[in-house]
Amino acid sequence: MSTLKLFNIYHSFLIKKWYLLVYILLLFIALLGLMIGIQHFNQKDDSFTIGIVDKDQSKETKLILNAVGDGQSLGDNLNIEHYNEQQAAKLLKSKKIDGYFLFKEGMTKAFYKNGELPIVVNTYDTQSIESIVIMQLTDSVYSRLMLSMGGALSYTHVYEDASDEELLTMMTDMLFTGLNRNGSFEEEPVKVYDTASYYIVAFYFVSIFFFFFSIFSILKMNQKNALKERLSMFHFSYEKLTIVRGLFSLIYTAIWSCFGLWLILKFLNPDFEMYNWPTLLIYIVYYLFTLTAIFIFIDVTARQTFNYVWKIVLTVVILIFSGATIPVVYLKGLFNNIIDMSPFTIVMNQLLELILNNYILNIHPMFYWNILIVMCLLVISLVWRYRQ
């Protein structure tokens, strides 16, 4: 029986059972959409609003305020607003701002006299994450201010004859340089995965597997006993049928993979940039090819009980040992790091980094070896079945 006729058999079957495809597709869309919706509902505003109260009103504190600006030079998601003391205290009490800096009266004179800047930081508590972050930010800003103001102080001692205009220019340069986060005091943030976003990507990864598994199993429903008896009259017909099932499953799963990815990029709003699209596509194709080859290999080489056992093992590997349910960091060192070599772990790690952080990991040494191993197993099994 020709491969084209087998395609026609499955095509007619899918037309009759089209509602099964619709049910599966709607199920995965609903689940993915629900997870994205929950993520948006629970997502907190990560920005901080900090007030500044300047009671000193000196030219130095005005320079500091100009250098700080709206807070963007100090860090991302940080807004700086100027208030008087009463406004700042009232807003802090109502938790409309996360804290405020207070430049005390006589602060500049105290600096020139004692070499210290008496800046007061007010937060509504001392234990919340917001207050800890503000305290850490204050320490960073204070250190940079002290370096900048210390340089200005040294300048006044070295160049005692400098005019007020020269001193002002020098202090401006020192402050803008010292408070600029992108200058010599650059800080690299440590990025961590948001839990909800992590499991949205993990669900997308697992949904590709289950979508393929579902289509592959549904198409097998067409292999009735009567059809099997007819196919047994033709050499290598069962294997051809299995390959065609795999190709059909691959086509429909590829469609879901593209649509599911579009949903994530459209509504989750991750850091992913389109210039990394080719790399993301390569790993999705790699994943789809691996699934197709393994499912065809299992159906060709194992029947009845062993067939179910191997598919259960494959499901466990993808659900548990790929990082989809338990992050891979907790599985480090298990089974002599064999888990890290799995094609599913490699794909999962790349999807997380690419979609959530727009970062490409180095190609794992087993990336190409996995393709070679899977292809060899598939070819050997097909040749073995063909010769029987």
Q: Tell me, what's the pLDDT at 50?
A: 75
CA distance 375 to 372: 5
| Burial category of 250 from C-beta neighbours within 10 Å (exposed 0-12, middle 13-18, buried 19 and up) | buried
Q: Tell me, what's the pLDDT at 344?
A: 95
CA distance 66 to 80: 11
C-alpha R_g of the chain: 31
User: Could you read off the pLDDT of 117-166 as tens digits, one per residue?
Assistant: 666 666 666 656 556 666 666 555 555 555 555 555 555 555 566 665 55
CA distance 3 to 383: 17
CA distance 344 to 300: 22
Within 10 A of 230 (CB to CB), how many other CB atoms are there? 12
Q: Report the DSSP beta bridge partners of residue 54.
A: 103
Within 10 A of 54 (CB to CB), how many other CB atoms are there? 20
Q: Tell me, what's the pLDDT at 92?
A: 80
CA distance 183 to 191: 21
CA distance 342 to 103: 57
User: Could you read off the pLDDT of 225-253 as tens digits, one per residue?
Assistant: 545 555 565 677 778 888 888 998 999 99
Q: Tell me, what's the pLDDT at 314?
A: 96
* pTM of the full structure: 0.66
Q: Tell me, what's the pLDDT at 156?
A: 57
Contact assessment for residue 6 and residue 240, using Cβ atoms and an 8 Å cutoff? yes
Which residue positions in the chain have pLDDT lower than 50?
72-73, 175-176, 178-191, 226
